[in-house]
Structure 1
Amino acid sequence: MSMESSSATIPRPEYPRPQWVRPDWINLNGQWQFEIDHGKSGKERGYHNSDRDLSGSITVPFCPESRLSGVEYKDFMAAVWYKRDFSVPKTWTNDRILLHFGAVDYETEVWVNGVSVGTHRGGYSPFSFDITSNVQTGVNTIIVYAEDDVRSGLQPRGKQSGRFYSNGCDYTRTTGIWQTVWLEHVPKAYLADMKLVSDPDNACVHLDLKVEGDAAGARLSAAALFDGKSVGEASVLVSGSSVKLTLPLSEIHLWEVGNGRLYDLKLSLYKQDLVTDSVSSYFGLRTVRLDGMAVRINERSVFQRLVLDQGFYPDGVYTAPSDEDLRKDIEISMGLGFNGARLHEKMFEPRFLYWADQLGYLVWGEHANWGLDITSPVGLSQFLPEWIEGMERDFNHPAIIGWCPFNETWDHNGSRQNNDVLRIVYEVTKRIDPTRPVIDTSGNYHVVTDIFDIHDYDQNPETFRAKYEPMKMGGEVYNTFPDRQQYGGQPYFVSEYGGIWWNPDQKDDKSWGYGDRPTSEEAFLERYEGLTSTLLDHPMMFGFCYTQLYDIEQEVNGLYTYDRQPKFDPEIIRRINSRKAAIED
């Protein structure tokens, strides 16, 4: 029985976790009671008590700063409260009930029927609570409290503005709930998580699963299908909370750029020949390997034509108005000749990664490190747990072809970054995922990294090209901060360039882009082609990343406007981006 409502009144009604699907769930998006708590005094005033109403209302999962929330309060909010009632089917009451949050910014506490069921720190990673013992027959009440302080230096804020107004390359803030809230029905012993490593060379995938509850003596079965046809089965006996098995495949269909060939995966837990739990998932077969200056995907040198995507929306801020909007952004990018994106200063929604998997779109996973002071080990304690949660959430997506935990780790208040923070995060990332390359910090200042990237917003194609010419003859590699980072022979690319300011409304003095504004559309396209061709033609560049896909508020250097309208003929941009690169096989 699927509890997903067909009502059009529920925003973002689609299943929020497409790689781990069960049929019994209830979407809790929609109208909640809401109140801003500027003094963080709500607990003293009893806001967590179920019998107290809040003064306002909000549409979840949209943040209160957004128009879609119905609140649209743009000033700083020290804390916010949410409240709503829910009921559960009688068929659920003999099993377990999990309460899931896709993301809440930043420090969260949750009560069910007046009892605190747990806390979570981190504005981008998911969390859940087992609320079985807290649920009663009839009406139940959820209360959510979230504190948020982007100016503290103690939390990753990404591109959320630390000033009252959105300014420069910082934009409208997000406070509180900004991804789907939902209930899930699971048995007393259930499949809790999975880590999947594809192995096309050996015609199999390796599964590492976690089981919650007492499942000793049960049998775990895994079945793979491609286009509805059975292509592999395996099963093992469950003897503890960790279960490992290898699933052989009779057919090999590689996941490739522009062709997201995906297998369906069915996982079942059996006891005495009865299915006690079942999960639907999917996977893609592909490999990623560094080879000299090339990054090989399925052993082919694929030039990464990336674009910077920051995941902002005019009406929803951090939250896409619909699932179709997530897919549309990828289709816009691919229509311009890009084959992937840096998901910039934000952990994107799982539904975005689902569409990237489906469409064969390369993405780099990144955290929202801006705003976090990493000049001392305190920064590590604030960063690493959430980064691990994000990696664990996203590990199985074939579209993710690399990790980049930090971006432009500038010094803080005159103090240098603590290099050990970057080193430890890099090493932990490699331990969790040895299958993908890791960039320690995009742009600066590299400490230990698999790939050496730089950011270069030079607007003159001639001087831009001249910087990289010596590399072709084995000469000096262009390094933006030679006093702070040293090149060690790694694969190399320019992971931010362009950012060309194009705003036909010259009277708008609030807007900005990089460098001088071109005087005409023709001048823009000439500059775009000159910069981009430099990187495509360079035999030591494995890719590029153009800034950016669409405008965001006052930053008007997108190829599309903020409301996703093309500024130029997409076919012209596509022609420039799509031609064969020097490093490609």
Structure 2
Amino acid sequence: MITPLRLCLVFLVSSLSVWADTAISSLLSRPTTSLDGLWSIVVDPYDNGFYNYRYTPFDATGKLTGGYGQDLPHDNKSGLIEYNFDTAPKIQVPGDWNSQDEKLYLYEGSVWYRRTFDAPAVADGERVFLHFGAANYRADVYLNGAKLGMHIGGFTPFDFEVTGKLQPTGNSLVVRVNNNRHLEAVPTVNTDWWNYGGITRSVQLVTVPAVFVRDYALALARGEGDVLRMAVDVEAPEGGAALPETVTVAIPELGVRENLTVDADGHAKGEVTLRRLVRWTPEIPRLYEVRIEAGDDVVTERMGFRTIETAGTDILLNGESVFFRGICMHEENPFRGGRAWSEDDARLMLGWAKELGCNFVRLAHYPHNVNMARIADEMGLMLWEEIPVYWTIQWENPDTLANARAQLADLIVRDRNRASVMVWSVANETPLSEPRMQFLGTLVKDARALDPTRLVSAAMEVHRDPEHPEMRIVNDPFGELTDLVSFNQYVGWYDGLPENCDRVKWRVDYQKPVFISEWGGGAKAGYHADALTRWSEEFQADIYRRGIPMLESIPQLRGMSPWILVDFRSPRRPLADIQDGWNRKGLISDRGERKQAFAILQAYYQRKAQAEIDAQAGSGVKAPATATTPQK
């Protein structure tokens, strides 16, 4: 049985010929069989394992007629097979190939992965799904010599049902991963981050009952007190077991146990008023155990409940004004030098944000791994999540739009139950045009349809007034569609010297909350000079020292996320002895060193936090206690 939501997502991806199932969000909270570890790899720059010598795919007819996906054995001494996974080198999954093999550091193209495994024990009627957290950028997946399908998009999860396709022992899973950049892709060919290739997130086998909970969404309704709205999707196999009549949503700590009626499409919905609820906040990140039961299937996870909305030029968390004390972050572990993916990675980087005094993190410029939002739930950090509609996209290409819509849908379905996620962002620094407005407008509509409980925005650009050199104008018509007027600005770095911050004036043509989604400048850690010497810590510190009061002059200012927490790799940054392939705008170096600007922003955020406490005390509102450890 396919639910209406799933139909919507299948429609979005079908125009891309993306054959993988839309990712099942409920798989993330279930016991799994991990396929992480060492995988054999064959590097294939000419794609000989995918195309024949006429450059026709080996699966063009629907049946695999050759290629590395067959994983043929070398059991005939006269045979001619020009690949061998058994004798091939191995690399770690999850992980990118660039940081694991020096020869692959700059490589873009195809790499074939192979892992053998025995099937998990499965009871009669149970179903098995093969789940990928992500693979950058296109993944073609083969099981026991037959193609399961393909997925496009480097940062979103995907699944294949493999029920009845597994052998008891000796299963061969082969994945071709290709990270070539394409003009029509999302992101397109030109970005300011490293194009890490590979199976960059976990691979798992997940066993579920024949009838199981596929998806669910629980959120407080805005303006309705502590009313929790619930939606659950249940899936049954075609021609198999029947759907249950009801599903049960239980929150034992709050005394909730609600039975929801399941309709013919497998969808159930309802609402309940929560008594004694402690709402999630950064100061008290309260999480509750939630159980969802459908027949023999039980899903459990810990969730927090809160509201986020805007009122005029203010942002309201649980009805109270909040200032987003933020920082931007890439999904990269600087010490290991590769794509981040683990809980330890998330705790390291989010811990640095907490040390800085942040209550908010912008996860740029693509969907980060699932651990980031889950750990942010525990640590009390609010999040901005976005898809890689970045710089100049093919706005009039319907396949490009379908790609962006699919990535947005997969991100929202995966993370819409995370209390920490406050903002869905649909773009970064995109040029003005009518086709762009149509493209982004469609994404905004999708975001609000899939999740009406959060804010929607994008990182827009600033424009100059030609008649007034000191004036910077924010008048992007896309601001009419967003909840926040968010924009990137680099006064003092790309726009004059730091002293320019003292003269610049701002005109924001919207009476909405203003969020500065990027600002700052670069410095090489340990390089010291006067404040006019670019790349010195003193130059970067001067930008922060002058930039904060400049931005504070914007009346609608309700938050910021300077660029960026940590230096990160970028092929656009080749300056020898300074950049060396790293974007140096981090407040922390790639070796974990705090630059001078770190302390300046930290002191500002400490003042903002204290001012909020003082304001609450002056208004008679009881200031929330600060949790010394995450509330569970």
TM-score class, shorter: 0.7 to 0.9
Match of 1:165 in 2: none
CA distance, structure 1, for counterparts of residue 204 and residue 358 of structure 2: 34
Verify the 8 A CA contact 1:199 1:286 in the aligned structure 2.
no
Structure 2 residue matching 1:89: 3-state secondary structure: coil
Give the deviation of 1:462 after TM superposition: 5.6
Q: Deviations over 1:1-38 (max 9, x none)?
A: xxxxxxxxxxxxxxx99975555311111111111221
Match of 1:287 in 2: 307
CA distance, structure 1, for counterparts of residue 587 and residue 261 of structure 2: 54
Match of 2:184 in 1: 154
Summarize the Cα distance change of 1:579–1:128 in structure 2 as closer, same or farther, 3 Å threshold: same
Match of 1:233 in 2: 257
Verify the 8 A CA contact 2:235 2:243 in the aligned structure 1.
no
% identical equivalent positions: 24
Verify the 8 A CA contact 1:104 1:176 in the aligned structure 2.
yes
- The residue correspondences of 1:184-583 to structure 2 (distance < 5 A) are 184-199=206-221, 201-213=224-236, 214-225=241-252, 229-240=253-264, 241-270=266-295, 276-314=296-334, 319-320=339-340, 322-370=342-390, 373-378=393-398, 379-410=400-431, 418-443=436-461, 446-447=477-478, 448-459=481-492, 463-468=500-505, 477-478=507-508, 487-505=509-527, 517=534, 521=538, 524-536=540-552, 538-553=554-569, 554-568=582-596, 573-580=601-608
TM-score by length of 1: 0.82
CA distance, structure 2, for counterparts of residue 282 and residue 538 of structure 1: 38
Q: Report the count of equivalent residues.
A: 526
Which of 45, 50, 58 matches 1:38? 45
Match of 2:105 in 1: 74
CA distance, structure 2, for counterparts of residue 317 and residue 38 of structure 1: 23
Give the deviation of 1:316 after TM superposition: 5.4
- Give the gaps of 5 or more residues in structure 1: 1-15, 163-168, 271-275, 472-476, 479-486, 508-513
CA distance, structure 2, for counterparts of residue 23 and residue 425 of structure 1: 30
CA distance, structure 1, for counterparts of residue 212 and residue 243 of structure 2: 11
Match of 2:78 in 1: none
CA distance, structure 2, for counterparts of residue 257 and residue 72 of structure 1: 44
Q: Deviations over 1:363-411 (max 9, x none)?
A: 1111122376234233313322122111111111111111111101148
CA distance, structure 1, for counterparts of residue 326 and residue 383 of structure 2: 8
Give the deviation of 1:467 after TM superposition: 3.2
Which of 113, 121, 132 matches 2:152? 121
Match of 2:35 in 1: 28
The answer as to 2:118 corresponding to 1:87 is yes
Verify the 8 A CA contact 1:267 1:279 in the aligned structure 2.
yes
Query: What is the identity, as a one-letter code, of the residue corresponding to 1:42?
Result: G
Structure 2 residue matching 1:253: 3-state secondary structure: coil
CA distance, structure 1, for counterparts of residue 42 and residue 528 of structure 2: 40
Structure 1 residue matching 2:526: 3-state secondary structure: coil
Structure 1 residue matching 2:456: 3-state secondary structure: coil
Match of 1:106 in 2: 137
- The residue correspondences of 1:3-22 to structure 2 (distance < 5 A) are 21-22=28-29
Verify the 8 A CA contact 2:129 2:207 in the aligned structure 1.
yes
Verify the 8 A CA contact 1:234 1:248 in the aligned structure 2.
no
Give the deviation of 1:47 after TM superposition: 0.4
Summarize the Cα distance change of 1:100–1:25 in structure 2 as closer, same or farther, 3 Å threshold: same
Which of 123, 130, 136 matches 2:167? 136
Structure 2 residue matching 1:576: 3-state secondary structure: helix
Q: Which moved more, 1:31-40 or 1:532-541?
A: 532-541
Give me the CA root mean square deviation: 3.0
CA distance, structure 1, for counterparts of residue 108 and residue 542 of structure 2: 45
Summarize the Cα distance change of 1:440–1:566 in structure 2 as closer, same or farther, 3 Å threshold: closer
Give the deviation of 1:220 after TM superposition: 1.5
CA distance, structure 2, for counterparts of residue 279 and residue 446 of structure 1: 43
TM-score by length of 2: 0.76
Verify the 8 A CA contact 1:207 1:245 in the aligned structure 2.
yes
CA distance, structure 2, for counterparts of residue 76 and residue 337 of structure 1: 38
